[in-house]
Every structure is written in structure tokens, then in C-alpha cells.
Amino acid sequence: MMFSRWAVLAAALLLGACATVAPPPAAVVPAPVAALPETSPAPVLAEAPPATQALPADPRVGDAWRTRERLALEEQIARTDLWARVRSGFAAPDLDDEFVRKWERYYATRPDYVARMMERGGRYLFHIVEEVSARGMPMELALLPFIESAFNPQAMSTARAAGMWQFIPSTGRDFDLKQNLFRDDRRDVIASTRAALDYLQQLHGMFGDWHLALAAYNWGQGSVQRALKRNQGLGQPLQYSALRMPDETRNYVPKLQAIKNIVQRPEAFGLALPALENHPFFLAVGIERDIDVALAARLAGLTLDSFQQFNPQMNRPVILAAGTPQVLLPYDNANQFLRALTEHRGPLASWTAWVAPRTLKPADAAKLVGMNEADLREVNRIPPRMLVKQGSTLLVPRAAHSLQDVSLHLADNAAMLLAPDGPRLKRVVLKAGKKGDSVASVAKRYRLPAADVARWNDVGVQARFKAGSAIVVMLPQKAASKRTRTASGGTPARKPATRAARSPR
């Protein structure tokens, strides 16, 4: 069978039995599971009070009975309204300064942007709320993706921070987020949420203060430690608002506070929040065989774009079951996917992985796997004038009769290794000039493709290098042997650097 017959039939029967229960419009599964849950989602309470229902007067004015009545009503609303649940979990200290006011005005004057951001966040917020609640962390943290990425799991910054929690590559690897040829877990909704909360817990344990932990999430823990040490030496307060920091970090916590204030009292800012019920929005559906992304989307009854909103971590047009044992789908679409899967005839995957046995020109590799060279280059994103080195993993067509899926080792470790096809290149480390440099300016000066300069330095093509920072370029041997000065004409850097520019984190 293409999938476990027992798991598929059991899940299909389960979903069939509860198909008459309308799924909630906005929520997320609490944790990844290998297949569908063994119980149907909690039914919507038809008689639950709306989130806007007025609460009794301040209990301090009444007696103990009235206090109990108010608390009971608050609890009842929080059981059915996700926003009420979020508000009830706020526990971090408030920040109140001119920066908070600035960002409140910013969001209040952009209602369309806020509406889009809140609507998108509604797909993922329940899952994050569940995770934050399970760890006993302040519920303000569930709102952090609003300021990191506007809750876009496919977001990519110029510093190559990815996903709705905006992990740079190195920090992502520190927190076990796989980044390889086939997937980038920094964009995985469940994996990145786990990693972000792990990181925030670690930072809070280090600083004992949520504002400092958030500053470290944005700026880096070493930067915050140095700022605290400086204040300590000057006899100045050791708190977030007293630190000397970059503008981005100075505005970071105020942005989150502004979003918190809007969620707390949207009407005070002339804004409205979309109705979000306190129920999962998506389910995790286990898969056991490699399957094309396009086919999975079609079997689920989703457009490719909609499917990728729930599964944005895929880097290639095939899902490898060994590395991605589940996909996330809205409730009704999970039901449709399982039924359609049992009825599907024919191969599930038209792509597979192939490891280059020796260093090859792309044209020669294409002949070996029976592909057109242009197609091989396109699907594997091979730049011009590059060789495919021995041990590289390429995506190639899978024979229709093949029953062998990609192994766990390849699914987790696949990498593309390239070498220049032409004069031998030497790695040269330059130093950015006093005014700094950009990827574009370095590329222009040395007549290099900007994409190559960005790739060598692990940054985006729009990135800038700070004054004095190291910049890696690959130059022909003759040019590299000359007394190359800096990117702008100064002295070359003495020590190689593994990273030319870093994210603020």
C-alpha cells in the first residue's frame, strides 16, 4: 500500500463520522502527530457568549458572589474565544513610553495592513497559544510573529532570516531546524514554533527579564550582555529602556507592546480583530511515501499556494516522507486528502534524489539521469559556469515503476556542492571600508555576480556590510595574488571570517 492501510482507513472513518461538525474558522493543532487525532475536535458551543459581551461591574464594588460570577463568565468566554484566551494569559510587564505610542499610531493608521496580518495569523495562532500555555510562558510571546514577519511563514529578510519567527541560518541550526536541499525547517510552522519558544526560554533563563530576553532575541544575547556590562560599569540601570542599542532593537519591544495593547482594546484604536474560535485550524496528517507537492495539494482540494501556506518548509517539488513525515491541512481538506489518497492510482512521486558519483558538468549529469540540461539546472538551481561536485544531491525524475523512496540520511543531509567551471578561484577575505559596502558594490568592483557574493557571505543580495566587517569573495588565482586591498581599496582582512554580515539576532 502507498500508505498504511490501517491508519488511512481509521482516519477516514473517523473524519467521516464527524464530518457534520463544522470546523472552526481559525485555530491550530496543538502538537505534531503522526496521523489524525483519535477524537473529533470539540464542538462549537452554540450558546457561548460573544467576545464582545459586557462583563459585570468591577468586582471590587460587589461581594464575593459577584466576583465568582465575573470570573466564571471570563472563563466561559476564554473557552470559546481565542482572543479572550490570549488576553487572559498576558503576564509580561508593560512598557509605556513614546516608542509604544509611535507604534500604536503606526498600526492604527493602517487598518488594512493590520486586518491582513491578523487574518493570516489566525491560521497559526491557536497552535502557538497552546504551546505557550503548555510551557507556562507569558501569552505576549504568542504575538511575536506579528512583529517578526506579520505571521508570514514564507518571509525571508535581507539578512536571510526565514519563517514567521525569523531565524537566521546559524541560530536555526543551533535549535535543530534542518536546512538542506529539500526543506528548511525555519519555515516549518510546528518546528519553528518549538525552536523559538526554546530560544526564548533559554534567553529568559539567562537574563531573568522578558524585555531583555526579547531584546536578545532580536539583537543577540552577546550584544545584550555587553550593553548590560556597560551600564553596570557606568552605574546606570540594568533594564531594557536604559540600554544603548540599535534603533531596530530600541523599537522591538515597543512594537510588541503596541500589538498587545491593540489585542487588549482594539476599539480604542479604531481597529477590529477577526473572530477566532479557541479550536484547531489545521490537522497534522501522517504520510509514509514520498509524494509530489502538487499532487498532495490536488488530493487535498487546495491550490498550490494554499497548501504551501500550511507547509512552507518545502524547498523542492517533492515531499520526502523520511524527512517530513506529516503535512498540515485544514480540517475538511485533511478529510478529503485521506479519502482521495485511498482512491489514487499511479505513482505518488515523480521526483527522487540522485547523488553525483564524480564531479560533473551539468550537461554530463543531465545525460546520466536522462534529463534535459536546462531542466536539470532549473529544478536544482545550478548557476552558470559551475560544476556539480562529487557527492552532490540532485533532484531528478523518478522512474514510474520505482518503489524506492529517498532514505532518511539523504532527506536530512542532502546538499548541493558546486565548483567553478573555469579558472581556479581563490578565497579572499576583504574588509569593508569606513562607510561600509553593499553586496552590489562589491560585486560591481570585482565584476562578480551579486548572487555569488551574497551566497559566499551567507547574506541576501540587498544586504550591506558594516564598516570594518569581513567580506568573502572568490577571485581567479592571478587577481587574488595581487595585493588586493579592501572592498573599497583599503587593507585586506588578516583573519578569515565565516560570516560577513549578521542579522541583528
DSSP 3-state helix, strand, coil percentages of the chain (rounded to 5)?
A: 45, 10, 45
DSSP strand pairing (437-438 vs 464-465): antiparallel
For residues 235-247, average pLDDT: 95
Give the C-alpha separation, 164 to 353, whole Å. 28
For residue 317, pLDDT over 60 is answered with: yes
Cell numbers 498540515 label which residue?
328
Give the C-alpha separation, 249 to 212, whole Å. 10
Q: What is the pLDDT of residues 349-396, one digit of tens each?
A: 999 999 999 999 999 999 999 999 999 999 999 988 899 999 999 999
Check residue 218 and give its pLDDT.
96
| Structural domains of the chain, with CATH | 5-39+282-343 (no CATH), 89-269 (1.10.530.10), 351-420 (no CATH), 423-505 (no CATH)
Check residue 396 and give its pLDDT.
97
- Please indicate, yes or no, whether the overall pTM of this predicted structure exceeds 0.75: no
Output the CA torsion sign for 431, 434, 438, 443: negative
Q: What is the pLDDT of residues 451-494, one digit of tens each?
A: 889 989 988 888 999 888 899 998 887 655 554 455 555 444 44
Instruction: Give the catalytic positions in this structure.
Output: 148
Burial of 24 (0-12, 13-18, 19+ CB in 10 A): buried
Instruction: Pick the closest to residue 384 from 422, 353, 329 (CA basis).
Output: 422
Q: Which of 261-265, 399-403, 432-436 is the least confident region?
A: 432-436
Cell of 296: 498532495
Check residue 481 and give its pLDDT.
55
Give the C-alpha separation, 135 to 388, whole Å. 46
Q: What is the pLDDT of residues 21-36, one digit of tens each?
A: 334 433 333 333 333 3
